[in-house]
A = this chain, B = another copy of it.
Amino acid sequence: MVESMSRPDLTPVSYVVLGLIARDGPSTPYAIKAAVGRGIAHFWQFPHSQIYAETERLAGLGLLAEEREHTGRRRRSYRITPEGRAALSAWVAEPAAEPPQLRSLGLLKLFFAQHAGPGDIAELAKVQAELHRQTVDYTREIIARLKARGDLPGQLAVAELMGDALRVMGEHWERIGRALAEPPAPAGAARGR
């Protein structure tokens, strides 16, 4: 039983770059940067400067081929090589055993809610609920666009999953906001704090 078929010298960012070029055809790093911002950034973040380093490195490894514009700005453009496609496929085919990671400053503050007044937490909940609503809306747009295309079932599934997860989190924040806002003091048996 071989443990890993995918190349150990490639990082997730490498595959993002390979994958987007495979999807969109020959691309400049700047175009990749824009494409990342339009989707992948929502579940795998990294600084754009990485893209420039990564395209160069992948070209060195023979997984991308560089072409340079002859006119004007002489931008570099990269297309994927057969080796690049093979590396990408091998990686996708290998199941990911890592759990998803969440990183939320809002949750961190909620965790320590006891150190602030209920009003402050209500405000936090309001802000977070609104943020989640916006992101869900954005996700909806993406879903609509992907459905119109009918193509790319993987991307659609990702968007639907994320949309649902964000919706559920947003609902929690709304519930928290309501619970703290409406009954400033529940009256009657004043449960200690």
Q: Which residues of A contact B (CB under 8 A)?
A: 12, 15-16, 19, 22-23, 39-40, 42-45, 85, 88-89, 91-117, 120-121, 123-124, 126-128, 131-132, 134-135, 150, 152-155, 157-158, 160-162, 164-166, 168-169, 172-173, 176, 192-193
Contact = CB atoms under 8 A, between A and B. Distances in A.
B165 A97 contact: no
Given A104-B100, A116-B93, A124-B96, A161 B172 contact: yes
A12 B95 CA distance: 32
Nearest to A125: B95
As for how many copies of this chain the complex holds, the number is 2
Nearest to A176: B157
- Interface majority SS (helix, strand, loop, mixed), chain A: helix
B160 A172 contact: yes
A20 to B, nearest CB: 9
Contact of A153 (B120, B132, B193): B193
A111 B19 contact: yes
Nearest to A122: B95
